[in-house]
Amino acid sequence: MPDAYLVKPDREFVREIIDLGGESLKQCFQCATCSISCTLSPDRHPFPRKEMIWAQWGLKDKLIGDPDVWLCHRCGDCNVTCPRSAAPSDVLAAVRDYTIRNYSFPRFMGKALGKPAFLPLLLGIPAVLILAVLAGLGTLNPPPGDVEYGRFFAHLPLQIFFGSFVALMIVACLVGVSRFWKDLNSRISRQSFNQSSTTASTSSVGTGIVGAVKDILTHTKFRDCTENKNRYISHLLTFYGFAGLFLTTIAVVISEYVFHYYPLPLFHPLKIFGNVSTLAMLVGVTWIIYERARKQRDTEISTYNDWTFIWILYAVIITGIVTEILRFVNIASVAYPVYFVHLVVVFALLIYLPFSRFAHMVYRTVALVHARYSGREEAVESAEQ
Ligand code: SF4
Ligand code: SF4
């Protein structure tokens, strides 16, 4: 028999998908109810039924770089309708985690982020690095007086420290994403999405970017969920809260270095904008935690990767709020240690982005761009009409 007709299962891959949360994948008996109930699945080559059999058979090459894995927005509708409790939503989430690990640069970081045993080390590294910089600056013991975080970790060294690691993080992201894009492209030659009578032709990458950004800004895909409808609002709050804080940080740096206007008064519009963004994130993430804890016993399994990302994000928000309050109430003995913890968790959130659940945001954006570029998204849209 020619090699092309032989199925070559990768048992190690199946084991890893099970470990990453796809433990019920073997219960699937290919009835296709999940593909019918999925509002995001196109008529031509629908998902997630085909991904379920690929996962069962250990067809790693078919799943890695499968754009449909990323068109799934984990609404959980298919988990509810599956008559075998095979949890296709969780299996696809596990495949996404595996995909990120597979494309990670350096690869060992992708593996380390997924293992609880490495968590103390991953938090210990930024703690030691920050302590070393503070020791070098001679501010491990900040001078007595009013709480002023700039006297603990001076602004310029702080920005150089984080800026250097952010630059490395961006390089790691670009390497991983370019590997992913290459594999997505190889799919176009193997499987044309444009032959359906209901689909249109491919578009340019630029048009794909505009369409994907529009999808992300409006969270339209989350709105189509039935089972987890609330997730639309909690994700929207978290997303815009994070974006607001990101813009505030950039604006404050510009204010300090370009206009030499720093510190900002309490009721400065930028401060108000930053505080409203923090509040939006707090509400959004608290809501996500509540919903996940509720569903954990019910229709959806949240894995170690899910919880680690959510709790680190939550730790960033809480320590950020407490840091600000402690500056106002001026309790130096607690304020500086809390600020130190805040910096450690900010590092863990931002610098480990290419290897954590946070990377989903980047990979999904790339997959959405590619889906439009390849015409796959048009197939989804025409199926929705
Ligand atoms: S995952 Fe469930 S609904 Fe989907 S094909 Fe398998 S058994 Fe059917
Ligand atoms: S989780 Fe939702 S979007 Fe993903 S395959 Fe299932 S029904 Fe479709």
331: its two tokens: 């309790």
Of residues 42 and 196, the one with the higher pLDDT is 42
Phi, psi of 145 (to 5 degrees): 125, -165
Q: What residue ranges define each of the domains in the chain, with the CATH number in brackets?
A: 3-103 (1.10.1060.10), 108-384 (no CATH)
Write out pLDDT tens, residues 89-132.
999 999 999 999 999 999 999 999 999 999 999 999 999 999 99
Output DSSP code: residue 300. Answer: -
Which of 54, 74, 85 to mutate to test ligand 2, by most ligand atoms within 8 A of the CB atom?
A: 74
Cα dihedral 324/330/331/333 (nearest 10): 90
- Mean pLDDT for 52-70 is 93
Calculate how far, in angstroms, residue 46's C-alpha sits from the geometric centre of ligand 1.
Answer: 12
Return the residue whose CA atom lies nearest to atom 6 of ligand 2: 78
Q: pTM of this prediction?
A: 0.88
> How far is 311 from 307, CA to CA, in rounded Å?
6
Write out pLDDT tens, residues 233-263.
999 999 999 999 999 999 999 998 899 998 8
Output DSSP code: residue 228. Answer: T
Positive or negative, the Cα torsion across 141, 146, 149, 154?
A: negative
Q: How many CA atoms lie within 13 A of 166 on its CB side?
A: 8
- Mean pLDDT for 370-376 is 86
Calculate how far, in angstroms, residue 54's C-alpha sits from the geometric centre of ligand 1.
Answer: 12
Output DSSP code: residue 191. Answer: S
- Mean pLDDT for 23-41 is 94
Return the residue whose CA atom lies nearest to atom 2 of ligand 1: 82
Write out pLDDT tens, residues 267-285.
899 999 999 999 999 999 9
Of the pLDDT bands very low, low, confident and very high (cuts 50, 70, 90), residue 372 is confident
- Looking at every residue in the chain, the average pLDDT score rounds to 89
3-state secondary structure 195-228: CCCCCCCCCCHHHHHHHHHHHHHHCHHHHCCCCC
Calculate how far, in angstroms, residue 49's C-alpha sits from the geometric centre of ligand 1.
Answer: 6
| Residue list, ligand 2 pocket, CB within 6 Å | 38, 40-41, 47-48, 72-78, 88-89, 92
Angle between helices 119-137 and 155-190 (to 10 degrees): 140
61: its two tokens: 């090459």
pLDDT of residue 194: 45
Calculate how far, in angstroms, residue 78's C-alpha sits from the geometric centre of ligand 1.
Answer: 8
| Residue list, ligand 1 pocket, CB within 6 Å | 28-34, 49, 52, 82, 84, 86, 88
Calculate how far, in angstroms, residue 55's C-alpha sits from the geometric centre of ligand 1.
Answer: 12
Q: Does residue 6 have a pLDDT over 70?
A: yes
Calculate how far, in angstroms, residue 10's C-alpha sits from the geometric centre of ligand 1.
Answer: 21
Whether 356 contacts 308, CB under 8 Å:
yes
From the CA of 42, which ligand is nearest?
Answer: 2
Return the residue whose CA atom lies nearest to atom 6 of ligand 1: 28
Q: What atom in ligand 2 is closest to the CA of residue 71?
A: 3
Q: What atom in ligand 2 is closest to the CA of residue 48?
A: 5
pLDDT of residue 299: 65
Return the residue whose CA atom lies nearest to atom 4 of ligand 1: 34
Long-range pairs of 120-127 with CB within 8 A, sequence gap ≥ 24: 122/348, 122/352, 123/344, 123/345, 123/348, 126/343, 126/344, 126/347, 126/348, 126/351, 127/340, 127/344
Cβ count within 10 A of residue 204: 10
Please report, in angstroms and rounded to a whole number, the separation of the first and last CA atoms in the chain: 43
Write out pLDDT tens, residues 309-364.
999 999 999 999 999 999 999 999 999 999 999 999 999 999 999 999 899 999 99
Write out pLDDT tens, residues 158-210.
999 999 999 999 999 999 999 999 999 887 655 544 444 444 455 688 888 88
Q: What atom in ligand 1 is closest to the CA of residue 29?
A: 7
Which of 25, 53, 84 to mutate to test ligand 1, by most ligand atoms within 8 A of the CB atom?
A: 84
